[in-house]
Amino acid sequence: MKTVILLTGCINPNGMAYTSLNNIEERQEQYVNAIRHYLKKTNYPVVFAENSGTDISNYFQESIKSGQLECLTFQGNQNKEKGKGYGECEIIKYALDNSHIILSSKQVRIVKITGRLVIKNIRPIIRLHGLFSSKRTTLCMINSDFSFPDSRIVMAHIDFYRAFLLYQEKINDSQGYYFEHALCDIIKDNRQYPYIPFFIQPQIIGMSGSTGKQYPIEPTSFSFAIRYFRYAASQLRRFNKLYR
């Protein structure tokens, strides 16, 4: 099954609600650096989909010509009052409908990553979970009481994302129903896409667009990796007991 990295982006938020990081030049630099990271550190095809009409394809002509990268941009965010989570859904839908890389195969596992962020250990995450999970498995991290998932990186079959988009119209940040709430609901409700947490802790480098603060660096020691693995296994057992 084909694996594609989908980086979602909004270079010019243009007054998007609940967004602290609004500097266009800074945001663009973060997206460019993140794309370069995934092109350099993996051999997976990368789709960068952006919803403010800002084209950065000129930075990556060689990668685009080689077929490893596709840059898509469109004018989205017409419903700013619903917040950036609604806009994120628009980006995913646009990519599923318009990406030649994604549409070139019927069986696609998409690793959706917030486009400004660098996942340092992206290769082992994809390789391990690709080997030991079924093609319809959905992978992400959810907090300890299963109320709020980490949407910065989600790995799932393309059909899962299509099903998730049916929740889009429910998302409204001003009413307290976020992208993450919709993601959590479909993971709990839809039995067609079995859930497992990441058994390797994603090492995320970057800045929160909501708060403008840098994400803390996760420990990388062997002892921490073992503790994290045990925690993830415990979470999976609890999740299956509660929702399966």
Q: Distance (Å, rounded) from C-alpha 16 to C-alpha 10?
A: 10
Q: What percent of the chain has pLDDT over 70?
A: 97
What CATH number should be reported for the domain holding residue 47? 3.90.550.10
The DSSP letter of residue 213 is P
**Mean pLDDT value of segment 176-198:** 94
148 lies in which domain range?
2-243
pLDDT at 79: 74
Q: Which two tokens stand for residue 243?
A: 């929702």
SS3 17: coil
Q: Distance (Å, rounded) from C-alpha 15 to C-alpha 180?
A: 21
**Domain count of the chain?**
1
**Mean pLDDT value of segment 113-118:** 96
Structure confidence at residue 17 as a pLDDT band (50, 70, 90): low
pLDDT at 195: 96
User: Among 21-25, 54-58, 109-113, 236-240, which is the least confidently predicted range?
Assistant: 21-25
Task: Tell whether the model's pLDDT for residue 210 goes beyond 90.
Answer: no
Q: Distance (Å, rounded) from C-alpha 95 to C-alpha 73?
A: 9
Q: Which two tokens stand for residue 27?
A: 């945001």
Task: Tell whether the model's pLDDT for residue 15 goes beyond 70.
Answer: no
Torsion angle in degrees (nearest 10) through CA of 129, 131, 137, 143: -20
pLDDT at 1: 87
Name the pTM for this structure.
0.94
Q: What is the pLDDT of residues 119-152, one digit of tens each?
A: 999 999 999 998 888 889 999 999 999 999 999 9
Q: Distance (Å, rounded) from C-alpha 12 to C-alpha 7?
A: 16
Percent of residues in the chain assigned helix, strand, coil, to nearest 5: 45, 20, 35
Structure confidence at residue 214 as a pLDDT band (50, 70, 90): confident
pLDDT at 16: 59
Beta bridge partners of 138: 195
**Element (DSSP H or E) covering residue 154:** strand 149-157
pLDDT at 20: 64
Go through 187-204 and write b for each residue having 16 or more CB atoms within 10 A of its CB, e for each that does not.
Answer: beeeeebbbbbbbbbbbb
**Mean pLDDT value of segment 172-180:** 93
